[in-house]
């Protein structure tokens, strides 16, 4: 009704304005809509054929003519992204539906605090295509893997529900956070774990609590023009996630089920019991030759050993994974709904590990009046994780095969029987309780009110509530709990994060050629985290585990904590375009953050972007048949990073204990020196982009060049210990990332055959520009941070063959051993001081960052069949194979790689593998830096949809089957479990040290639409 | 529309949280050091720097960070840390991380002491008498930490105030001379002599005037100030505050903690919310069913310490264990000698949970200091010198020196005192200090005799950690280590 009043009003005004028109033979009122969505097409040009009279459609797609022409006459309706249409106007009113020219350019892209059509973008923004979103039901970040140029996704653990590391255009912070900001239905969240620290092992991934099946779209904001609106949190890129909504008059009930089996890609080749016994004999003999060659076992005993315990075989198993998704959606124009429920259950490929998710979602959207709209997006989830305790994988590969899982009396073998201490991993997997349970409610409500035709006010409230519970029990029957008679611990943590956003949006077009939209707003977000841990030791038996702490004889000191942060922000953005040819975007955000020093609470983040749609120029018309789109983009802006945790600028005190006699007393000591000037990391980024469209824009090509420089890095600057402190958090140093991203999208259809393709490739080059204090470099374990070199550089020795019997005097000093012996590994004396020492002779021996990463997705439809193939890969990155280093110690105290069979012996001098030795000094060298390049078939899915003619006889409306293979084929030269491995930090990426390997999966799916 | 706007603006205003951080769970330095309890907590924090969790100064770090470089100890098979093994083999250098820890933890404690001295001393609202005690206690602890540092690293930077800003003049502190460091130690200990006497009571586990005097006598002795050392140790002996336990085993008995012989001890309590004595677990055997020891802090057999004990010496099988009863099968197993001083028989299955204290200074040592000082002061042993050492020997159940070896010359008596110190104080973080203060010839001779062929004159100091040299341009390495 209201709409009609509005129309009348509009009519009245218009007729007033046009009252001077001499001859009025007809009045034509009409509306232009999208043929597919029936949504109004805004700004379409409607021209009467043969005359110059043209008008533009308004915000509701309406247009109005008063003309001297008499019905019938021809109208030409055109709009960028739609096929030009000629219709005959017989009478008023008229409804004109335009067909999209193609899907690729007209899709709406969700950006920060708004949405634009892809063709109007001025920044570098990547949309994740449906195929990728559909390819995951574990966690949404997996959908990003290989989907968008410049977004590099690596799993940090194969633990079900485990973590993921994401770098958008390279890592720029050395010690601050590097993960992107996620904005879920308008709510900004970081993917930081809320664990209370009670459980051991890889951190669980909080985003795994969100059900990927609910996701409608994912957009990745990459350049400063699109991320600066997120100010102090935009520097690492922003991932915007929108969940599905119900559509009016489209009632849908769907059920999807999938069941799969997962297994480890490969096991490491290790010695069996016989090989190990011989190695141990050699190592013992090497140290103490006087006791003979068979100090461990005689050859006759070895012959009876067999293979011994295969610890990997005992731990790795084929594990099921299943997903159930039920959703209802639909509604009326006034109220649209989507309700969904999800159960996901994944067992780990390591026994007794796993992840369960129970998730519910309600999304409601209502048009209360033509001016007032409200929306609700609410999700709740519970996740349960059984986590592999840290060190399990290392123990699995290191346990000697001659050791047994059980002692002869049936009790567990506690630990490695030899000198190297690690506990029985199978006992830990079987008996140890290491669980994490989380509850999460994430919801936003918003109201939008049209203050006038052009001005809309929006208020949004949101909250993200997380409750975590950690349960741990170390039974007395295993080594970890043996000495303390069983240890039970519980941890509770909760995060209350709330958000309020108030924005005004102004949209207007002038003279049909000037399009203006502007946004201004004030937002505030605040978060409070609390935790409690408690526990007890010395239990009579292991029956009650962590459920009865009072049954333990010794209570453990409880701990609790509280931390809070607050962010206040003012933001604004203006978009202007002239005739869809010249586009200007400018944005600004001012952020006040509690996390920084009292002298530096506020930061300011401006950006600007220009775009030129050359293909809309008149002069270009001559080429427009060949080239449908040609657009140049340029942007520059500033963003920040504030991910350092709370209270880092204050001189806070740490509580410590001491014992006087029998009385425990508490003391306090400063944890750090105050820094009132602590501020954000600031990233300035320049981006230059080109978009090209061919073949009626069915082939789209995008290229972006960028350079981003991050200054004032938040660095824990090392200071002399004489200050009483180790380091001080300072703004120091700078890092640069620059690169090229290419994207190619296709969308073809011919008869029963359809093909969509997406190829992207990104080259990023990282460089440390400055690390403060005039330092040129500093080392960090096996890594070096060096000015002029990329982060993630390995720092180690260079191997130089094996010392032979006759070379001991001449070359013995290049072994690094006090008493060199033939069979020792030789290293290069890089500083030419006549000896090798690990202190002086290490160098940069490779880098963990890839030369390029790429993704290639092809989806084919033929009739009722569809096939989707997702390839993804990384080239040029190196992996520090720490597992291999451990497995080549050859000390006879722990198991070793099969390369031990080629080890140096007097009988086998011509080898590159050193001798067995009881007491080797581990030296990190280039031997353990491996090529980590890989090409992976991340997802292959073959689908079949039952013909409509069959389904229509039932109550169902569609039935679809899919066979899916994930990570089925991986091509790599890397010798470890899996090349997709990182420990997740920017300073030390690409180390494979006992990481839970990524699984490969085969599954079957059925999707039913009622 | 207006209502809507008013509503939203109203909400925005209500919800506003401040950008100023006011943590609820942690205390900020500016608001602390106000009350007597705050002041006490600042002093307790210094004790915490002496020994707390594993590998803190008096909870094993001094064993693996210094004592390994002597003739009595070696890195056992389960000592996997390459830095510890290097120290045991005397192939350590300035990059050794154990030395770095000695340095770091000592200066951490010194910073805590400086803060306590400054903040408590400057606070007019505290009871002056009570504040004076706490300041003197902090000075005692600062002296103890500097006394260790100066013996390990020579002329170390002398920091006597809290570092509150990172300007170069604040953080690039140059080396002091050894005598400057000793001057501060002596002054701090003289001030600490003003602490309450041990007889006052209520100071279990804490420093007293007796503790300060005892340590001062040792500081004098180390500097070869024989007269002062003899006088100060005599003052402690004559005070009758302390005495020897009759039974040597009582020195380590959990029932006798902080008893009459203990002047200051590192405090442990296993299976509680405090820490067990790590030395107990790290020295316990690995080959007895049910005892999960680590045999990492091992006896260096070639040093012949075990053999040097007479069989009747009551200290021998308190110090060493060769028979252990398995908590699993109840059988008694015989093994090679392991250090047993801190092995807690009540928790055989979890030796790291030992509740036995490690003495930092005890009365037997005061007697030996007195004996040594008199011998040096008088060009040979006086009867009092004999008496003092013989009190220690008598308790051990071995012959008095004045009967078995009367009329020793100065050098022979000196050697007898050092051998007595070695046996009496073994596994109490004393041997390296004793060897080093005798000078490089003595040190090298003793180590080579024990088969540690890599010993060199420079080993009477540890190299100043490379990290510190890299970060502080004004800091210079010890010349012998350059």
Q: Distance from A402 to chain B by nearest Cα, in Å?
A: 18
Q: Residue B132 burial by CB count (10 A; 0-12/13-18/19+): exposed, middle or buried?
A: middle
Q: Distance from B298 to chain A by nearest Cα, in Å?
A: 14
Q: Cis bond leading into B219, ω under 30°?
A: no
B159 touches chain A (CB under 8 A): yes
Query: Which residues in chain B have their CB less than 8 angstroms from residue A601's CB?
Result: 19
Provide the pLDDT for residue A8: 40
B165 touches chain A (CB under 8 A): yes
Provide the pLDDT for residue A984: 63
Query: Which residues in chain B have their CB less than 8 angstroms from residue A919's CB?
Result: 85
pLDDT of B11 above 70: no
Question: What's the farthest any 2 CA atoms get from each other in chain A?
Answer: 121
The helix/strand count (H/E) of chain A reads as 13, 50
* Ranges of H-type helices in B16-81: 36-50, 61-65
pLDDT of B154 above 60: yes
Q: Distance from A422 to chain B by nearest Cα, in Å?
A: 12
Nearest CA in chain A to B292: A483
3-state secondary structure A201-241: CCCECHHHHCCHHHEEEEEEECCHHHHHHHHHHCCCCEEEE
Distance separating alpha carbons of residues A680 and A390, to the nearest angstrom: 33
B197 touches chain A (CB under 8 A): no
Cβ atoms of residues A166 and A177 within 8 Å: no
Nearest to A483 among B110, B159, B352 (CB): B352
The overall average pLDDT reported for chain B is 93
Nearest to A667 among B45, B77, B171 (CB): B45
Provide the pLDDT for residue B10: 53
Taking only the tens place, the pLDDT of each residue in A359-406 is 999 999 999 998 999 999 999 999 999 999 988 999 999 999 999 999
Query: Which residues in chain B have their CB less than 8 angstroms from residue A566's CB?
Result: 17-19
Provide the pLDDT for residue A143: 85
Taking only the tens place, the pLDDT of each residue in A839-876 is 789 999 999 999 999 999 999 999 899 999 999 999 99
Question: Count of CB atoms within 10 A of residue A143's CB?
Answer: 26
Percentage of residues of chain B with pLDDT beyond 70: 96
Cβ atoms of residues B462 and B151 within 8 Å: no
What are the distances in angstroms from CA B41 to CA A561, A658, B125, B196, B267?
20, 10, 16, 19, 17
Mutation choice for B interface testing from A532, A720, A730 by most B CBs within 10 A:
A720
Query: Which residues in chain A have their CB less than 8 angstroms from residue B41's CB?
Result: 666-668
Q: Residue A833 burial by CB count (10 A; 0-12/13-18/19+): exposed, middle or buried?
A: exposed
Q: Cis bond leading into A93, ω under 30°?
A: yes
pLDDT of B2 above 70: no
Question: Count of CB atoms within 10 A of residue A907's CB?
Answer: 5
Nearest to A660 among B163, B166, B206 (CB): B206
Residue B18: band (very low, low, confident or very high) from pLDDT cuts 50, 70, 90: confident
Residue B3: band (very low, low, confident or very high) from pLDDT cuts 50, 70, 90: low
Nearest CA in chain A to B102: A721
Here the ipTM equals 0.94
B271/A725 CB distance under 8 A: no
Nearest to B5 among A457, A461, A562 (CB): A457
Distance separating alpha carbons of residues A842 and A209, to the nearest angstrom: 44
pTM: 0.84
Mutation choice for B interface testing from A670, A780, A922 by most B CBs within 10 A:
A670
> Region B354-381: what's the mean pLDDT?
97
Where chain A has pLDDT below 70, the residues are: 1-23, 36-37, 80-81, 100-106, 420, 773, 984
Interface of A with B in 794-833 (CB under 8 A): 818
What are the distances in angstroms from CA A880 to CA A283, A720, A884?
26, 30, 9
Nearest to B380 by CA among B388, B370, B372: B372
Distance separating alpha carbons of residues A548 and A39, to the nearest angstrom: 60
A666 touches chain B (CB under 8 A): yes
3-state secondary structure A838-868: CCCCCEEEEECCCCEEEEEEEEEEECCEEEE
């Amino acid at each position: 009704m209201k709409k009609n009043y509005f129309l009348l009003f509009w009519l009245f005004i218009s007729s007033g304005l046009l009252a001077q028109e001499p001859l009025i033979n007809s009045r034509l009122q009409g509306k232009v809509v999208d043929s597919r969505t029936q949504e109004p097409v805004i700004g379409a040009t409607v021209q009467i054929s043969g005359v110059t009279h043209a008008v533009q459609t308004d915000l509701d797609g309406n247009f109005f003519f008063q003309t001297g022409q008499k019905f019938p006459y021809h109208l030409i309706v055109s709009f960028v992204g739609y096929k030009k249409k000629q219709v005959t106007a017989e009478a008023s009113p008229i409804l004109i539906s335009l067909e999209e020219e193609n899907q690729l350019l007209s899709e709406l892209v969700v950006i920060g605090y708004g949405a634009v059509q892809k063709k109007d973008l001025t920044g570098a923004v990547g949309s994740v295509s449906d195929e990728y979103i559909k390819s995951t039901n574990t966690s949404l970040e997996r959908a990003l893997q290989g989907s968008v140029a410049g977004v590099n996704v690596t799993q940090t653990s194969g633990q079900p529900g485990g973590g993921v590391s994401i770098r958008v255009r390279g890592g720029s912070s050395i010690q601050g956070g590097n993960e992107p900001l996620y904005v879920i239905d308008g709510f900004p969240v970081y993917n930081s774990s809320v664990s209370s620290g009670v459980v051991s092992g890889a951190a669980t991934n909080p985003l795994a609590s969100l059900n990927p099946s609910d996701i409608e779209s994912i957009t990745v904001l990459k350049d400063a023009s699109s991320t600066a609106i997120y100010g102090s949190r935009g520097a690492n890129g922003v991932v915007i996630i929108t969940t599905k909504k119900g559509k009016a008059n489209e009632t849908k009930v769907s059920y999807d089920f999938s069941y799969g089996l997962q297994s480890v890609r490969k096991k490491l080749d290790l010695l069996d019991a016989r090989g190990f016994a011989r190695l141990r004999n050699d190592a013992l003999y090497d140290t103490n030759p006087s006791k003979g060659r068979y100090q461990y076992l005689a050859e006759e005993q070895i012959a009876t050993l067999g293979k011994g315990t295969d610890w990997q075989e005992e731990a790795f198993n084929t594990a099921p994974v299943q997903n159930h998704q039920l959703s209802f959606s639909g509604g009326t124009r006034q109220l649209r709904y989507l309700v969904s429920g999800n159960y996901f259950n994944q067992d780990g490929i390591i026994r007794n590990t796993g992840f369960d998710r129970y998730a519910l979602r309600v999304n409601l959207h209502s048009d209360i009046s033509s001016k007032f709209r409200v929306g609700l997006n609410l999700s709740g989830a519970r996740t349960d994780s059984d986590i592999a305790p840290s060190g399990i994988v290392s123990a699995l590969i290191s346990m000697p095969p001659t050791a047994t899982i059980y002692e002869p009396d049936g009790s567990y073998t506690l630990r490695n029987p030899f000198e190297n201490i690690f506990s029985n991993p199978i006992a830990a997997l079987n008996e140890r309780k290491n669980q994490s349970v989380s509850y999460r409610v994430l919801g936003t409500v918003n109201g939008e009110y049209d203050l006038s035709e052009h001005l809309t006010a929006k208020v949004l409230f949101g909250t993200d509530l997380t409750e975590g519970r950690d349960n741990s029990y170390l039974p007395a029957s295993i080594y970890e709990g043996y000495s303390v008679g069983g240890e039970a611990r519980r941890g509770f943590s909760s995060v209350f994060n709330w958000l309020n956003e108030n924005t005004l949006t102004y949209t207007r077009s002038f003279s049909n050629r000037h399009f203006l939209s502007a946004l201004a707003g004030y937002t505030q977000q605040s978060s409070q985290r609390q935790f409690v841990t408690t526990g007890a030791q010395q239990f009579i038996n292991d029956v009650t585990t962590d459920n009865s702490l009072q049954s333990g004889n010794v209570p453990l000191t409880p701990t609790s904590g509280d931390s809070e942060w607050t962010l206040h922000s003012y933001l604004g953005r203006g978009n202007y375009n002239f005739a869809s040819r010249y586009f200007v975007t400018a944005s600004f955000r001012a952020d006040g953050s509690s996390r920084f020093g009292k002298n530096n609470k506020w930061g300011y983040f401006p950006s600007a972007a220009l775009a030129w749609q050359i293909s809309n120029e008149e002069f270009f018309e001559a080429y427009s048949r060949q080239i449908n789109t040609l657009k140049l983009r340029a942007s520059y802006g500033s963003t920040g990073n504030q991910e350092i945790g709370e209270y880092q600028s204050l001189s806070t005190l740490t509580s410590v204990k001491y014992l006087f006699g029998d009385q425990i007393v508490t003391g306090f000591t400063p944890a750090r020196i105050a820094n009132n000037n602590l501020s954000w990391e600031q990233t300035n980024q320049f981006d230059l982009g080109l978009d090209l469209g061919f073949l009626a824009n069915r082939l789209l090509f995008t290229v972006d060049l960028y350079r981003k420089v991050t200054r004032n890095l938040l660095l824990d600057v090392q200071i002399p210990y004489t200050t009483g402190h180790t380091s001080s958090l300072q703004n120091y140093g700078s890092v640069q990332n620059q690169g090229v991203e290419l994207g190619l999208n296709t969308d073809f259809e011919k008869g029963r055959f359809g093909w969509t393709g997406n190829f992207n490739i990104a080259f990023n080059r990282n460089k440390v520009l400055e690390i403060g204090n005039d330092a040129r470099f500093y080392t960090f374990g096996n890594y070096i941070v060096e000015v002029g070199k990329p982060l993630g550089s390995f720092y180690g020795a260079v191997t130089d063959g094996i010392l032979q019997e006759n070379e001991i005097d001449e070359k013995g000093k290049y072994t690094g051993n006090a008493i060199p012996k033939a069979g020792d590994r030789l290293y290069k004396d890089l500083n030419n001081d006549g000896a090798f020492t690990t202190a002086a002779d290490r160098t940069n021996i490779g880098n963990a960052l890839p030369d390029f990463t790429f993704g290639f997705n092809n989806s084919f439809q033929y009739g009722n069949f569809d096939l989707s193939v997702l390839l993804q890969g990384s080239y040029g990155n190196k992996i520090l194979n720490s597992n291999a280093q451990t497995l080549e110690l050859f000390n006879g105290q722990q198991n070793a790689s099969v390369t031990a069979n080629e080890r140096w012996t007097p009988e086998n001098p011509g080898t590159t593998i050193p001798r067995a030795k009881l007491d080797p000094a581990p030296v990190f060298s280039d031997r353990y830096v491996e090529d980590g390049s890989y090409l992976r078939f991340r997802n292959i899915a073959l689908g079949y949809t039952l013909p409509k003619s069959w389904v229509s006889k039932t109550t169902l409306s569609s039935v679809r089957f899919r066979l899916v293979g994930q990570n089925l084929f991986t091509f790599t030269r890397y010798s470890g479990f899996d090349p997709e491995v990182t420990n997740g930090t920017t300073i030390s990426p690409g180390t494979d040290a006992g990481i839970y390997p990524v699984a490969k999966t085969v599954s079957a799916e059925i999707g039913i639409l009622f | 529309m207006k209502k809507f706007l008013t509503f939203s603006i109203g909400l925005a205003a209500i919800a506003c949280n401040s950008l100023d951080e006011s943590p609820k769970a942690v205390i900020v330095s500016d608001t602390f050091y106000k009350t007597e309890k705050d002041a006490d907590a600042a002093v307790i924090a210094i004790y915490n720097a002496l020994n707390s969790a594993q590998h803190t100064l008096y909870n094993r770090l001094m064993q693996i960070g210094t004592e390994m470089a002597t003739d009595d100890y070696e890195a056992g098979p389960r000592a996997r840390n390459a830095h510890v093994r290097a120290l045991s083999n005397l192939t350590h250098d300035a990059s050794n991380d154990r030395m770095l820890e000695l340095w770091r933890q000592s200066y951490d404690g010194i910073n805590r002491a400086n803060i306590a001295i400054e903040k408590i001393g400057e606070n007019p609202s505290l009871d002056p008498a009570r504040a004076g005690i706490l300041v003197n206690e902090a000075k005692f602890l600062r002296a103890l930490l500097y006394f260790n540092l100066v013996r390990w690293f020579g002329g170390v930077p002398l920091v006597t105030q809290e570092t509150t800003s990172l300007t170069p003049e604040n953080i690039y502190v140059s080396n002091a001379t050894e005598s400057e460091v000793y001057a501060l130690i002596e002054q701090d200990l003289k001030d600490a002599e003003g602490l309450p006497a041990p007889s006052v009571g209520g100071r279990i586990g804490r420093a007293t005037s007796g503790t300060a005097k005892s340590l001062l006598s040792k500081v004098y002795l180390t500097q070869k100030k024989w007269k002062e050392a003899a006088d100060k140790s005599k003052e402690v002996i004559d005070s009758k505050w302390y005495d020897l336990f009759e039974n040597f085993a009582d020195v380590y008995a959990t029932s006798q903690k902080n008893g009459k012989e203990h002047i200051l001890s590192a405090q442990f309590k296993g299976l509680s919310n405090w820490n067990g004595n790590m030395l107990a677990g790290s020295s316990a055997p690995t080959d007895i069913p049910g005892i999960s020891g680590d045999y990492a802090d091992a006896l260096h057999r070639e040093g012949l310490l075990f053999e040097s004990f007479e069989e009747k010496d009551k200290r021998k099988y308190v110090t060493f264990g060769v028979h252990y009863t398995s908590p699993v099968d109840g059988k008694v197993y015989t093994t090679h000698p392991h250090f047993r001083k801190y092995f807690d028989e009540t928790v055989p299955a979890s030796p790291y949970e030992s509740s036995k204290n490690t003495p930092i200074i005890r009365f037997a040592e005061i007697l030996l200091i007195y004996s040594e000082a008199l011998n040096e002061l008088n060009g040979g042993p006086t009867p009092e010198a004999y008496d003092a050492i013989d009190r220690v020997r008598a308790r051990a159940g071995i012959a008095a020196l004045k009967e078995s070896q009367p009329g020793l010359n100065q050098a022979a008596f000196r050697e007898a005192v050092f051998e007595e110190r070695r046996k009496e104080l073994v596994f109490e973080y004393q041997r390296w200090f004793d060897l080093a203060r005798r000078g490089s010839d003595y040190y090298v001779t003793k180590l080579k005799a024990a088969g540690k062929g890599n010993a060199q004159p420079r080993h009477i100091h540890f190299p100043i950690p490379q990290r510190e040299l890299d970060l502080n341009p004004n800091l210079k390495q010890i010349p012998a280590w350059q």
